[in-house]
C-alpha cells in the first residue's frame, strides 16, 4: 500500500478530482451535522451511551437521538443528556425530581436507572440541582448498539490505528 506512489502516478486532473471528492464528502457531512443541530435545537443531536448506568432502558453502545427545544418544560421521568462543569463527556440519566421556584425557575435532580443513588456526587462541588442550561438534549429515540464502534475505538486505541491504516 504505497499511497504516495499511487498519488505520483496520477495525472493532475485525477488528483484534483480525488481532492474535490474528498472535500465534497467532508463538507456534506458537516452540513448534515449543522442541519441536525438547527433542526433539533441541541448542540449534540446524536450521542453514544458510554456506560451501563441507564440499563435496562439503554445499554452501552446505544445511539441516542436528542432534541433540546427551550420552550418545552423538563418533566420527571424524562431522560436527559447533561454536561457538568469540569467534565468533558455528557451524561445520560433520568430526571427523578423537579424543584420549581416561585419565580418560575426550574431545577431538577437526575439518577441513572441502574445506580443506587442520585447524581449529586457527579455534579460540580456545591451543586445539588441541575438547571436548563446544563442540558445538552433529551432522548427522543435510539438505535441499539450502533455506537459500539465508537466505544471500541476509545477502549482499544490499537484498533483505531488499524482502522486508520486501511
**Contact status, residue 137 vs residue 78, Cβ threshold 8 Å:** no
**Contact status, residue 58 vs residue 48, Cβ threshold 8 Å:** no
What is the mean pLDDT of the segment spanning 20-35?
95
In the residue annotation, 44 being an active-site residue is answered as no
pLDDT tens digits for 102-135? 887 899 999 999 999 999 999 998 899 999 999 9
Cα–Cα dist 22/14, whole Å: 12
In the residue annotation, 119 being an active-site residue is answered as yes
What is the mean pLDDT of the segment spanning 59-67?
95
Cβ-based neighbour number of residue 123 at 10 Å? 21
Which residue in 53, 59, 118, 155 is the catalytic one? Answer: 53
pTM value is 0.80
**Contact status, residue 149 vs residue 50, Cβ threshold 8 Å:** no
Cα–Cα dist 164/17, whole Å: 22
In the residue annotation, 53 being an active-site residue is answered as yes
Q: At what angle do helices 157-165 and 148-155 cross, to 10 degrees?
A: 110
Write down the pLDDT at residue 105: 86
State the pairing for strand pair 46-48/130-131.
Answer: unpaired
Which residue in 6, 27, 42, 119 is the catalytic one? Answer: 119
Amino acid at each position: 500500500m504505497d499511497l504516495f506512489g499511487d498519488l505520483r502516478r496520477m495525472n493532475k486532473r485525477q488528483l484534483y478530482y480525488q481532492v474535490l471528492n474528498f472535500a465534497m464528502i467532508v463538507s456534506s457531512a458537516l452540513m448534515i451535522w449543522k442541519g441536525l443541530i438547527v433542526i433539533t435545537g441541541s448542540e449534540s443531536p446524536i450521542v453514544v451511551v458510554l456506560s451501563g448506568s441507564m440499563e435496562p432502558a439503554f445499554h452501552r453502545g446505544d445511539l441516542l437521538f436528542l432534541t433540546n427545544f427551550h420552550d418545552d418544560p423538563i418533566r420527571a421521568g424524562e431522560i436527559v443528556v447533561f454536561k457538568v462543569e469540569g467534565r468533558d463527556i455528557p451524561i445520560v440519566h433520568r430526571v427523578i425530581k423537579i424543584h420549581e421556584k416561585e419565580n418560575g425557575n426550574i431545577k431538577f435532580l437526575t439518577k441513572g436507572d441502574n445506580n443506587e443513588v442520585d447524581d449529586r456526587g457527579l455534579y460540580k462541588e456545591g451543586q445539588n440541582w441541575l438547571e436548563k442550561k446544563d442540558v445538552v438534549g433529551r432522548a427522543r429515540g435510539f438505535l441499539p448498539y450502533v455506537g459500539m464502534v465508537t466505544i471500541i475505538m476509545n477502549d482499544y486505541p490499537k484498533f483505531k490505528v488499524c482502522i486508520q491504516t486501511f
